Amino acid sequence: MLLLLWISITPTYIVEYDVDVIELNKVLRRDPETGVHEVTFTQLIFWDWKPLRGEFIVRDWRKWSAGKPLPVYDRRRRCWVLLLRDGKKWKMIRANSFSQTLTDFDPELLDRKTNPPPRRRGL
């Protein structure tokens, strides 16, 4: 809340982006000795739907850690909104949906095989 107040008082330029899905993905690794699964890393993946391909593709991603912002649902706009600082820029990312996943593989890395980072639109 304090962050939103600060942004409203300080003249700040916010770049806005629209994606189809924001995913909070936790990649798990199984410890071979104990068999216990532990989180290796957590990331936010921004997906776009490509109707001609009939699939979602990664537009961009960011590493996420506890304390960083998560998307919140904006009832007025009827979408999920994430406000984050990316370097010196503020970015507002809107999405139709938000999901949280636990995987034993990295979906962003898998997407690189057919959609390498230089071809992505990015944020």
Angle at 15 between CA 62 and CA 50, to 5 degrees: 60
Sequence spans of domains, the chain: 12-119
Contact between 37 and 28 under an 8 Å Cβ cutoff? The reply is: yes
pLDDT band per the 50, 70, 90 thresholds, residue 3? low
Tokens of 74: 């904006």
The rounded distance, in Å, linking the Cα atoms of 65 and 24 is 10
pLDDT tens digits for 58-99? 999 999 999 899 999 999 999 999 999 888 889 999 999 999
> pTM score, two decimals?
0.85
pLDDT tens digits for 6-59? 555 555 688 999 999 999 999 999 888 888 888 999 999 999 999 998 999 999
